[in-house]
Amino acid sequence: MIPRTMYEQCLPDNSVDLAISTVAIHFLSKQVCQIKNGVMFEEADEEERQLMREQGKADWRAFVLSRGRELKPGGALVVLSVSSNEHGQLPSYFDAGHAVLGRIASEMTTEGILTQEEYRAMNLQALYGRNEDDLREPFTSGLTRIEELGLELVTTKLSRWHFHHRIFDIIDKDTTDKLNYSKMIVAMVFPWLHHVLCGGLSNSRSEEEKEEIITQYFDRLQTYAYNHSDFIPYIFFTEVVIKRNKK
């Protein structure tokens, strides 16, 4: 573990034989906008999406160049990135897409549980909308530094991955199955959304009050998952393989 952003060089030049990054580069290096009407990229308006796309482009270039400097000649970089498919479809844990996450926060705001300021501060700065062309961009745009480092794009491969668990294979779920399904969905979302929700809550709230609000949010999310338990979550991944040629 290195306490440094992955969008900068983390290791010495020419020191790495094989670098592997999985499910990381969709996170942006900084917040570039406030998603006014939601929590995630899927809920952003076109202006907000464009700002996130531009930052994502700069971040991916920086990531490739940083890893390129670290690779030894003959070394390789393998990246598995959350992405969209060729039709622009985004990954989802829910039948209605990830907009469900913002919808719950919006409902809690309407009910006075969250303030409007807190709702707008609950933003996940992550770009789920990259496609294969976006990930090829550093190599198709004629960047001089890519050529100087001897970096070569070997392949990109898009795949759709369904979550594998016996609970998803049960067609006619009974009450117990639906409950187990909904708990699993919440467990899959909680680790990467909890800090986003907490970060949006006002500092004037007590820790107990914050915990009550977060608990209520995830209770609502579990209820939604329970009521839509026939949906099988899926993610689009794009695998990118890059090598540094020997000189």
154-173: b (≥16 Cβ within 10 Å) or e: eebeeeeeeeeeebbeeeeb
CA distance linking residue 198 with residue 218, whole number of Å: 12
CA distance linking residue 34 with residue 92, whole number of Å: 22
The answer to whether residue 9 sits within a structural domain is: no
Q: What is the pLDDT of residue 162?
A: 86
Distance linking the first and last C-alpha atoms of the chain: 30
The pair of three-digit structure tokens given for residue 1, joined into one six-digit string: 């573990």
| pLDDT above 80: residue 211 | yes
**Residues forming a β-bridge with 235:** 161
The answer to whether residue 4 sits within a structural domain is: no
Closest by CA to 240, choosing from 130, 132, 146, 126, is 132
The answer to whether residue 204 sits within a structural domain is: yes
Tens digit of pLDDT for each residue in 103-124?
Answer: 999 999 999 999 999 999 999 9
Mean residue pLDDT of the chain comes to 95
The answer to whether residue 11 sits within a structural domain is: no
Rounded to an integer, the average pLDDT of 61-85 is 97
DSSP code for 11: S
The answer to whether residue 10 sits within a structural domain is: no
The answer to whether residue 6 sits within a structural domain is: no
The answer to whether residue 1 sits within a structural domain is: no
In angstroms, what CA-CA distances link 234 with 19, 27, 62?
Answer: 26, 19, 29
Q: What are the residue ranges of helices labelled H in 24-130?
A: 46-70, 99-110, 116-121
How sure is the predictor about 36, in pLDDT bands with cuts at 50, 70 and 90?
A: very high
Q: What is the pLDDT of residue 1?
A: 72
Q: What is the pLDDT of residue 78?
A: 98
**SS3 call for 146:** helix
61 is in which domain, residue-wise?
Answer: 16-244
The answer to whether residue 182 sits within a structural domain is: yes
Q: Could you tell me how far CA 74 lies from the centroid of its own chain?
A: 30
CA distance linking residue 85 with residue 134, whole number of Å: 12
| pLDDT above 80: residue 13 | yes
Q: What is the pLDDT of residue 93?
A: 94
Q: What whole-number percentage of the chain has pLDDT above 90?
A: 92
Counting DSSP H helices and E strands in the chain, the numbers are 8, 4
How sure is the predictor about 163, in pLDDT bands with cuts at 50, 70 and 90?
A: confident
Domain count, the chain: 1
**SS3 call for 159:** strand
CA distance linking residue 71 with residue 131, whole number of Å: 25
Report the CATH number that the domain containing residue 96 is assigned in CATH: 3.40.50
Q: What is the pLDDT of residue 4?
A: 85
| pLDDT above 80: residue 80 | yes
In angstroms, what CA-CA distances link 104 with 38, 46, 113, 177, 197?
Answer: 9, 22, 11, 23, 11
Closest by CA to 43, choosing from 83, 97, 99, 82, is 99
Can you give the pTM of this predicted structure? 0.92
**Residues forming a β-bridge with 92:** 234
Rounded to an integer, the average pLDDT of 54-81 is 97
How sure is the predictor about 164, in pLDDT bands with cuts at 50, 70 and 90?
A: confident
The Cβ-side half-sphere exposure at 119, using a 13 Å CA radius, reads: 20
